[in-house]
Structure 1
Amino acid sequence: MDKLIYNERDVTITNDGATVMNLLNISHPAASILVDIAKSQDDEVGDGTTSVVVVAGELLNEAKGLLNDGIEPNIIIDGFRTACNVVIKKLNELSLNFSNKSEEEKKNILLKCAQTALNSKLISNHKDFFAKLVVNAAYQLGDSLDKRNVGIKKVTGGSCLDTQLIYGVAFSKTFSYAGFEQQPKTFSNPKILLLNVELELKAEKENAEVRIDNPNDYNSIVQAEWSIIFNKLKLIKDSGANIVLSKLPIGDIATQYFADNNIFCAGRVEDADMKRTAKATGAVVQTSLLNLNKDILGECGIFEEVQIGNERYNIFKDCLKTKTVTFILRGGAKQFIEEVERSINDALMIVLRCINNAEIVPGAGSIEMQLSKALRVYSRSICNKEQI
């Protein structure tokens, strides 16, 4: 079942083991080790965070009975270690390697792995739909298989089946000034310029002291402020960029100037989105406008701004430099979408791990039963206390 966990700030609905363990306020030193077990399982494998806590708890429970019977802790630990080696050996015998299968069979196995990971989740009713998205995303990442190239954006509203996978980068429309609506909203094969430069009319008197004797000189100072920003904008236009993104604000003068020159701009872009755009398009983030050339501009196949739910999204598709994908998750409530995000994260980690390892075992508890049986048979071959 899903758990509803409430703390002062937030309500979380989840059945993801690592999330539950993180949200519990555990101060007991031994219990906090179980939290770490779930966390490392989440970082390493993604799924199975509940299982590791349940198994560890059960082993501790069994060990408690043995301690009460007066058996030395060292003997129990040696027994656990021996059992661990036996189990790993048996596991390797039972595993199925699918690296030599055809592409079609491989994809089917990965789909089943993703569906297995989604079986116990909130979205298990739509596991076929989400498993396909996850496997397609994993294939799109190419050889790097770097999970950092997967972005997840959440848009409240609509059905969870409205979730879409975009082969590229997507982020929601940033704060914009007057003149923004006159800018073009679609480009084919655009040149992309990424900046860490503020494009606003700055009153230079705020960061410099200027003394004048003649009131007429004041006008030249005001003109200088205008010429500074127009010089910047001209350098950007001359670089041949069609899309300008900046981490810092792009003001109303710049917005209108870009609109007049058929250039799209977005200011105050989040750092993570900026980095993924740079990686995907091959653009280099600039902190100065003095040396703009073709080498630092990025490229993508199609850029468009589209309406998704109540929000507008900027989408860069068919990026050539690095393969990146973005999930745009939909759903009725914020808590539901967050749980979908956790579920997709688990499934994606499993699929990426399968592509790397190419070895699988049957699920649904059957492998645990088989290992338990193997251990029982092995234990009968030991004569000392470790047998227990």
Structure 2
Amino acid sequence: MSMLQPSILLLREGTDASQGRAQVVSNINACLAIVDIVKTTLGPRGMDKLIYDDKKATISNDGATIMGLLDIVHPAAKTLVDIARSQDSEVGDGTTSVVVLAGELLKEAKSYIDEGVHPQTIIRAFRKALSFSLSYLETHSISIADKKKEELRKVLVNCARTTLNSKLISGHKDFFAEMAVDAVMALDEDLNMDLIGVKKVPGGSMQDSFLVDGVAFKKTFSYAGFEQQKKKFVNPKILLLNVELELKAERENAEIRLTDPDQYVPIVEAEWEIIYSKLEKCVECGANIVLSRLPIGDLATQYFADRGMFCAGRVPEEDIRRVAKATGGSVQSTVEDIIPTVIGSCDLFEERQVGHERYNIFTGCPVAKTATVILRGGAEQFIEEADRSLHDAIMVVRRAIQHSTIVGGGGAIEMQLSRALKDYSKTIHGKAQLMVASFARALEVIPRQVADNAGFDSTDILNRLRREHSLGTVWYGVDIDKEGIIDTIESFVWEPTLVKKNAIESACEAAALILSVDETVRNPESEQPPDAPVGPPGQRVSQAGMAGLMGGGLRQLKGKGGK
């Protein structure tokens, strides 16, 4: 008679452990529910999402923004948030594409999982398809490295226009594409994005936005005497300081013991002598404009005003750093022995009214390694979305300059890759052939979703695209304007190759990661409270609420912090 084996308790009581094939499918379903939320934002005719919490509402169709604002609690679905953020920080555009593509790869893999294929078999095949795709992109992209400056500028403008085509400000894409290219081309060879400033001023129209070839920042706190200062200088000398030009009240933090009341007067006089000595040295160095990170008080403001000078204290560090870069000046931590080489200059300084704000603007800078965009618009939410859109366009232009290769947009490169992968799959033996072909089918989701979001017959569009690509016409994609197909290279719908390479690579790695997880262990201490809302209209997207979300139709999403 066999003895019963005693049970061994490895995890504390109440711990929930799900494992096996059912867990993999559950994780895939969770990710597909997230994809259903963002996929309608893809393309030039994509819809916007309204995400709100107790503090503010955000309207956006930027994939990274939407994914970041959703409070996703499902551990596997959080992977999609990570790849959207990664795509945004690396290339700035394609954040929705990478999430949609990852979801489609998981959808293709789900059928094999249901049939009992091991996830590692699928992962190996997907990585083989990824390797082929990256090599194909490397050899079939169009180089722009040898183009002259005028031709290069046209290419960059077209790349920026393609990016802005799917944004809320697409009606002004020509205006902002030029602005994005001008901003990037004003930078050094290292193309440091921190040197492009964006200032948002509510009011006016989007066309009232303008680019300053230099630096602009909002007027700082005004002290007495500020209005008497001169507000416009031609060829001024600019002194940048990290010095406080203000009388300090030592009596608040220091103790002085006097034996004779007459000793108090020399102490006060010494304090005034110190501040006047600093101010005289600022005047003697020949500067017309004095900017400081630290406060410039009433006495100094009036002192400079009496001498026809302009000053501004408490200038944000980011702005004073960009002023130094543009004007050729250096920030000084003392006013002693100021030499001419540390003083900056520009062609024109003026204080200009922009909407209801006043801005200090430096233009015609001799070094000009920085630029500032002044964004205008009616609603604050609209300006915020314009800022995100312009950031995407600037990042795309920057990457196009750095990597100097482009491909056709509008789903053209995805269709071409899909055709090449299908041909490649026929050379592979075994189960991997089916999975590489599935990878090829998954790539078609981009043109299909672009057509669907525009209200077109996506089946007809894809059939026509497949036919053209099978005939060898490489760059045919979706024509949004005429509900058909078009040669995207000839119609200037261009994208940097890096955007597509990074999107395909990130989507494949995310799919592989999710497929490789076959067990989820939930610690009871970390479980969400029972009263936490699940699914719409609540903000927490959990495994239990996935089925409700997959019904679609979600347009208003509760963001982080919602009750």
- Identify the TM-score tier after normalising by the shorter chain: over 0.9
**Mapped pair 1:159 → 2:238:** no
CA distances 1:64-90 after superposition (whole Å, capped 9, x unpaired) = 221111111121011001111222222
Cα drift, residue 216 of structure 1: 3.0
CA distances 1:231-287 after superposition (whole Å, capped 9, x unpaired) = 111121112211111111111111000001111100111111111112222222222
User: Which stretch has the larger CA shift, 292-301 or 353-362?
Assistant: 292-301
Q: What residue is the counterpart of 1:210 in the other structure?
A: 256
Contact kept? 2:214, 2:368, Cα under 8 Å: no
Q: What residue is the counterpart of 2:21 in the other structure?
A: none
CA distances 1:197-233 after superposition (whole Å, capped 9, x unpaired) = 2212222222332222333333333222222211111
Contact kept? 1:306, 1:315, Cα under 8 Å: yes
**Residue among 166, 188, 191 paired with 1:120:** 166
Equivalent AA in structure 1 for residue 353 of structure 2 = Q
Q: What residue is the counterpart of 1:195 in the other structure?
A: 241
Equivalent AA in structure 2 for residue 88 of structure 1 = L
Q: What residue is the counterpart of 2:337 in the other structure?
A: 291
**Mapped pair 1:356 → 2:402:** yes
Q: What residue is the counterpart of 1:331 in the other structure?
A: 377
**Residue among 150, 160, 172 paired with 2:218:** 172
| Matches of 2:256 and 2:381, distance apart in 1 | 55
Q: What RMSD in Å do the two structures reach over aligned CA positions?
A: 1.5
The answer for unaligned runs of 5 or more in structure 2 is 1-46, 435-563
| Matches of 1:107 and 1:211, distance apart in 2 | 70
Q: What residue is the counterpart of 1:312 in the other structure?
A: 358
Contact kept? 1:199, 1:249, Cα under 8 Å: yes
| Matches of 1:269 and 1:37, distance apart in 2 | 36
| Matches of 1:181 and 1:78, distance apart in 2 | 70
| Matches of 1:65 and 1:147, distance apart in 2 | 44
User: Which stretch has the larger CA shift, 124-133 or 196-205?
Assistant: 196-205
| Matches of 2:143 and 2:263, distance apart in 1 | 80
| Matches of 1:281 and 1:67, distance apart in 2 | 62
What is the TM-score when the length of structure 1 is the normalising length?
Answer: 0.96
Alignment of 1:67-86 (within 5 A): 67-86=113-132
| Matches of 2:190 and 2:368, distance apart in 1 | 9
**Residue among 247, 252, 257 paired with 2:303:** 257
Cα drift, residue 301 of structure 1: 2.0
Identity of aligned residues (%): 58
CA distances 1:342-366 after superposition (whole Å, capped 9, x unpaired) = 1111011111111122211111112
Residue aligned with 2:130, SS: helix
Cα drift, residue 189 of structure 1: 2.0
Cα drift, residue 142 of structure 1: 4.5
Residue aligned with 1:319, SS: coil
User: Which stretch has the larger CA shift, 34-43 or 182-191?
Assistant: 182-191
**Residue among 136, 159, 182 paired with 1:90:** 136
CA distances 1:96-116 after superposition (whole Å, capped 9, x unpaired) = 112223433322221111100
Contact kept? 1:284, 1:297, Cα under 8 Å: yes
Residue aligned with 1:29, SS: coil
Contact kept? 2:80, 2:99, Cα under 8 Å: yes
User: Which stretch has the larger CA shift, 339-348 or 194-203?
Assistant: 194-203
What is the TM-score when the length of structure 2 is the normalising length?
Answer: 0.67
Contact kept? 2:246, 2:296, Cα under 8 Å: yes
Q: What residue is the counterpart of 2:458 in the other structure?
A: none
**Residue among 303, 309, 316 paired with 1:270:** 316
The total of aligned residue pairs comes to 388
Cα drift, residue 168 of structure 1: 0.1
| Matches of 2:260 and 2:427, distance apart in 1 | 104
**Mapped pair 1:108 → 2:141:** no
| Matches of 2:111 and 2:289, distance apart in 1 | 68
| Matches of 1:232 and 1:91, distance apart in 2 | 61
**Mapped pair 1:340 → 2:386:** yes
Equivalent AA in structure 1 for residue 228 of structure 2 = Q
**Mapped pair 1:248 → 2:248:** no
**Residue among 30, 39, 42 paired with 2:88:** 42
User: Which stretch has the larger CA shift, 313-322 or 217-226?
Assistant: 217-226
| Matches of 1:16 and 1:60, distance apart in 2 | 22
| Matches of 1:77 and 1:56, distance apart in 2 | 13
Q: What residue is the counterpart of 2:50 in the other structure?
A: 4
Equivalent AA in structure 2 for residue 58 of structure 1 = E
Equivalent AA in structure 2 for residue 44 of structure 1 = E
Equivalent AA in structure 1 for residue 374 of structure 2 = I
| Matches of 1:141 and 1:292, distance apart in 2 | 28
Contact kept? 2:213, 2:368, Cα under 8 Å: no
User: Which stretch has the larger CA shift, 258-267 or 203-212?
Assistant: 203-212
Residue aligned with 2:72, SS: coil
Contact kept? 2:67, 2:81, Cα under 8 Å: yes
Contact kept? 1:204, 1:225, Cα under 8 Å: no
Contact kept? 1:191, 1:299, Cα under 8 Å: yes
Q: What residue is the counterpart of 2:411 in the other structure?
A: 365
Cα drift, residue 91 of structure 1: 2.1
User: Which stretch has the larger CA shift, 45-54 or 266-275?
Assistant: 266-275
Cα drift, residue 322 of structure 1: 4.8
Cα drift, residue 136 of structure 1: 1.6
User: Which stretch has the larger CA shift, 2-11 or 220-229?
Assistant: 220-229
| Matches of 2:296 and 2:149, distance apart in 1 | 48
Cα drift, residue 309 of structure 1: 0.5
**Mapped pair 1:65 → 2:111:** yes
Contact kept? 1:199, 1:250, Cα under 8 Å: yes
Equivalent AA in structure 1 for residue 377 of structure 2 = G
